Structures are given as C-alpha cells and as structure tokens.
C-alpha cells in the first residue's frame, strides 16, 4: 500500500457517476484508487455496472489511506445496510484521515452524528433534517463544502448530488493534486464548459 492510496466505497445502487471526475484525475496524477465493499462480493451500481471490490470493509485501515470517498446510493435512505460505511467514516475522521461524502452518503454521516458540529452541505437542508440530526445550524448552501482538519479530527468534504465536479474540485484541492489556479480551471472546464480553461488546466 502506498501513501497515495484513496479508497472508494462501493455498494449496491451506488451512484457510479458521482466519483468519476475525482477518481479519474486522482489516478492520472499518481494516486491509486481501491474499491471497498462490505465484502469482496460484486456489487451492482445504480447504472447497472458490476464492480468487484478490491477489499472488504473489515480490511480497511485509515493508516493505509489518504481519503475515504462515499457516494450516494438508494440504500442510504431505505434502511441501515450502509451504516457500517458511516462507522468507517467516523474511524477515519477520528484518525485524522479525511472523508468525502456526496449525495445520500451525507445523510449516512448525519445519522452517524458526524455533521452535528461542523460545516457541511447536501442536496437540500430538509433532506438532512429528516434524519433527525442535530447539525442543521451548520448547514451551508453551497455546491460543496470542505471543513478543514483540526488536531483532533480529519477534514470532511460534503457535496450535493448534482455537484460531482465541485466534489472533485474539493478532493483534488485537499490532496494537493492541483493548486488554486488549476482548481479554478478544472471547475470552469468541466462545470461551465469554458474552453479557455483547458490550456490552464493542462499547462
């Protein structure tokens, strides 16, 4: 395991389009992306793709990872099947390793109590309010939010379901893949379809 390994949680019904911008650019810039399932049995994404996890959740250690990425999935809102991944997020944050959650995964973190006292976002505020969490005062109306690391916990990125580009921008910035100018160009190119951003990003 290298110091540049990022772990992507995979589970049935996960929204396969949400992490794609991030994982593509992480891989392109020397990171290794490994998939983590509840077990190593194949899962089926929301888009109907079959993914075989590289490792099972009980094999995952924060010490082996730069980041844990949690995507949306129908299962976040239909029971407790994915609760172990929210528990893993707590373990990562407690160990000082960042977590990035988008879409329904933010509700999972809310139920785990991980959004009660730190800035965050999601689809809409009332989506998280329905979980009964205590963090409504810290909800931010934004495409994506990064709450920085402190001495006692890792950084946390959250984003709404329509913002995979902003989600990726925050991840790429947090891990130092791009500096501010290229992060801006990345967002302008893939979010705004600004062709002038291509030369900046690839320069």
Q: Which of the residues are catalytic?
A: 103
Please give the C-alpha separations between residue 114 and each of 4, 117, 144, in angstroms, as whole numbers: 25, 7, 16
> What's the token pair of residue 92?
């990562």
Please give the Cα distance from 16 to 1 (Å, whole number): 24
Please give the Cα distance from 175 to 40 (Å, whole number): 27
Give the angle subtended at the CA of 24 by the CAs of 18 and 27, to the nearest 5°: 135
Diameter of the chain measured on Cα atoms: 47
Please give the Cα distance from 11 to 9 (Å, whole number): 7
Instruction: List helix spans (H) across 115-195.
Output: 125-129, 164-174, 180-190
Please give the Cα distance from 102 to 69 (Å, whole number): 8
Residues facing 139 on adjacent strands? 120
Please give the Cα distance from 135 to 121 (Å, whole number): 10
Please give the Cα distance from 20 to 15 (Å, whole number): 10
């Amino acid at each position: 395991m290298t110091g540049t390994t990022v772990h992507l949680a995979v589970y049935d019904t996960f929204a396969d389009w949400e992490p794609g911008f991030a994982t593509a650019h992480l891989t392109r810039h020397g990171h290794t992306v490994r998939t983590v399932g509840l077990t190593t049995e194949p899962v089926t994404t929301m888009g109907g793709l079959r993914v075989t996890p590289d490792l099972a959740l009980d094999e995952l250690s924060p010490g082996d990872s730069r980041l844990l990425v949690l995507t949306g999935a129908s299962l976040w809102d239909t029971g407790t099947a994915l609760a172990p991944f929210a528990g893993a997020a707590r373990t990562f944050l407690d160990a000082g390793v960042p977590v990035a959650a988008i879409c329904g995964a933010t509700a999972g973190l809310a139920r785990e109590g991980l959004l009660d006292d730190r800035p965050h976002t999601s689809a809409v505020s009332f989506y998280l309010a329905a979980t009964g969490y205590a963090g409504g005062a810290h909800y931010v109306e934004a495409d994506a939010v990064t709450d920085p690391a402190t001495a006692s916990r890792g950084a946390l990125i959250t984003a709404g379901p329509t913002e995979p580009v902003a989600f990726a921008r925050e991840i790429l910035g947090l891990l130092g893949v791009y500096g501010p100018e290229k992060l801006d160009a990345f967002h302008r190119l893939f979010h705004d379809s600004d062709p002038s951003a291509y030369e900046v990003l690839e320069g």
